[in-house]
């Protein structure tokens, strides 16, 4: 065994462990692989296996195994570190801090040789339990996971997988074995954000420093059989227009159509039910806005991520009375910034009128809206509390509906099933793209036919000084550019965003 150089650290006032407390014991997650293996990859030192069995997806985690001696060493280190670690919030580099103190503690406890034999394992599990998410740390660290949920103890933790979304929720091999264990985890989850969940306040919603949206319940006050949690993860690399094309959510011609409308400050409502992909689509549309434009986003929970430089982000502040700042306040305030575009996370109240007023003076707008069809969206817009007048309705250019469907193979797929233009003066929704669920295809698929049938594209002719044929050629050019991104496999946001900016700079072929 080569001799290693220990970091020079100040002497610790550690407390020599007198007993192996249960909370310092560990049982690595190690599931049994059954069914057809679809994919496998590593998350840190843990292996993840995605399998299919009985038509359902499974997310199996296999963490490094520990011998009985290694479990004892881990317990000794964790108990000692428990009394000597400073709060993580005070540490600039928690991982480096933990590595140094593993060695220092091992030296003081006289177990240096034992730690040397399996240091990577100790580093993994101590980081998992000291600064991570314990037994759910793997799905919480996996960039492929969109959501992590647990409905109660004794039930498998479930995940939504980004690349296997067709399975909907996938069971994992991770289970909280008792209400006490799950309750302690829920408490720790909220304490990481500086909040607390108690019997007095047994249900709370939070957003952590990473942007994850967290909902928890405590004990059996409002949920049965006991505590529960759901974490909608903020993904640092959002889905792109290329992902939408690859997954069949849009066609290249549809992408080009929205792109041209957005460039000319359209007002687009993205409708759908919860979990249908509305926010993802809004983020994709936002990335198509020309880089010379100024964008303001208003959200209750910051989820959008845009490549533009001149992007002002606003978020609401919950509170009582005058201390509360809601969507209406921020949409109204955003007009002072002279934006070219306002993007609102979700419109559902009086802020809709302010957004309509902004559109009336030439500001583009994109927002999500809970409705299952353009007709249902118009009913809600015209009714209290929004009470949008017909003149305001006519300013909306498009209402599109995205939803989750079951394909012939039984998998869930996301599709834009309706795209209706609002045609004044009647303000009726007129479908511009129609979706054929049997063939999983869209019509029209020809740029010239699209221009002829589209009221909004016809309205652009005098504004752009272009003929029908020239607008069709522009649509084809943009569609081909998007197809090129797909052929070049440019899916990552870090690749697509610069390519879009390059298009505006005249760098595209």
Measured CA to CA in angstroms, residue 194 lies from 189, 207, 208 at distances of 9, 11, 9
CA angle, corner 265, sides to 238 and 464, nearest 5?
A: 125
**pLDDT at 338 exceeding the cut of 50:** yes
Residue pLDDT, tens place only, 361-389: 999 999 999 999 999 999 999 999 999 99
Q: Please choose, from the candidates 466, 499, 494, 469, the residue with its C-alpha nearest in 3D space to the C-alpha of residue 483.
A: 499
**pLDDT at 6 exceeding the cut of 90:** no
Residue pLDDT, tens place only, 243-256: 999 999 999 999 99
pLDDT (0 to 100) of residue 4: 44
Measured CA to CA in angstroms, residue 41 lies from 96, 101, 178, 275 at distances of 25, 30, 30, 26
Helix, strand, coil tally for the chain in percent (to 5): 40, 25, 40
List where CATH 3.40.50.300 sits in the chain. Answer: 241-504
Q: Is pLDDT larger for residue 491 or for residue 15?
A: 491
Do 304 and 311 touch, CB atoms closer than 8 A? no
Mean pLDDT score of the chain, rounded to an integer?
89
Q: What is the CA radius of gyration of the chain?
A: 27
Residue pLDDT, tens place only, 318-333: 877 778 899 999 999 9
CATH class of the domain comprising 241-504: alpha beta
**pLDDT at 48 exceeding the cut of 60:** yes
Residue pLDDT, tens place only, 178-211: 999 999 999 999 998 889 999 999 999 988 878 8
What percent of the chain has pLDDT above 70?
A: 93
CA angle, corner 257, sides to 454 and 418, nearest 5?
A: 70
Q: Is pLDDT larger for residue 113 or for residue 138?
A: 138
């Amino acid at each position: 065994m080569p001799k290693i150089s220990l970091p020079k650290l100040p002497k610790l006032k550690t407390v020599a462990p007198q007993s192996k407390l249960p909370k310092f014991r560990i049982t690595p997650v190690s599931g049994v692989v059954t069914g057809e293996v679809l994919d496998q990859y590593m998350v840190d030192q843990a292996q993840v296996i995605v399998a299919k069995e009985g038509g359902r997806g499974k997310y199996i985690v296999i963490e490094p195994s520990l011998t009985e001696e290694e479990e004892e060493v881990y317990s000794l280190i964790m108990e000692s570190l428990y009394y000597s670690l400073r709060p993580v919030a005070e540490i600039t580099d928690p991982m480096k801090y933990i590595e140094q103190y593993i060695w220092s503690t091992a030296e003081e406890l006289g177990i240096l040789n034992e730690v040397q034999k399996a240091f990577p394992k100790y580093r993994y599990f101590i980081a998992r339990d000291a600064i991570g998410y314990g037994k759910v740390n793997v799905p919480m660290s996996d960039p492929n996971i969109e959501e992590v949920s647990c409905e109660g103890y004794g039930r498998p933790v479930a995940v939504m997988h980004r690349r296997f979304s067709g399975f909907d929720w996938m069971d994992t091999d991770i289970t909280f074995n008792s209400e006490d264990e799950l309750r302690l985890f829920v408490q720790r989850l909220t304490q990481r954000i500086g909040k607390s969940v108690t019997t007095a306040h047994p249900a709370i919603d939070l957003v952590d420093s990473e942007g994850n949206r967290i909902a928890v319940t405590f004990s059996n006050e409002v949920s049965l059989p006991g505590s529960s949690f759901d974490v909608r993860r903020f993904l640092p690399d959002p889905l792109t227009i290329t992902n939408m094309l690859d997954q069949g959510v849009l066609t290249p011609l549809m992408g080009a159509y929205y792109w041209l409308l957005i460039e000319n400050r359209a007002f687009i409502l993205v409708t759908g039910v919860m979990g249908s992909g509305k926010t993802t689509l809004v983020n994709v549309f936002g990335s198509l806005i020309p880089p010379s434009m100024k964008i303001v986003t208003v959200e209750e929970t910051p989820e959008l991520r845009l490549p533009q430089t001149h992007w002002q982000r606003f978020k609401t502040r919950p509170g009582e009375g005058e201390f509360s700042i809601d969507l209406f306040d921020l949409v109204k305030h955003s007009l002072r910034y002279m934006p070219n575009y306002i993007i609102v996370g979700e419109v559902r109240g009086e802020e809709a009128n302010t957004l309509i007023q902004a559109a009336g003076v030439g500001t583009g707008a994109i927002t999500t809206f809970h409705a299952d069809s353009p007709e249902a969206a118009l009913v809600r817009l015209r009714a209290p509390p929004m009470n949008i007048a017909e003149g305001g309705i006519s300013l909306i250019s498009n209402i599109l509906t995205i939803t989750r469907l079951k394909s012939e193979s039984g998998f869930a797929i996301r599709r834009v099933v309706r795209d209706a233009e609002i045609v004044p003066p009647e303000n009726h929704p007129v479908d511009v793209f129609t979706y054929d669920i049997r063939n999983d295809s869209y019509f029209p698929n020809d740029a010239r036919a699209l221009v002829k049938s589209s009221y909004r594209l016809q309205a652009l002719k005098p504004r752009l000084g272009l003929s029908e044929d020239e607008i069709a050629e522009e649509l084809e050019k943009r569609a081909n550019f998007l197809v090129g991104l797909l052929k070049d496999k440019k899916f990552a946001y870090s690749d697509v965003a610069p390519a879009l900016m390059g298009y505006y700079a005249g760098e595209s072929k």
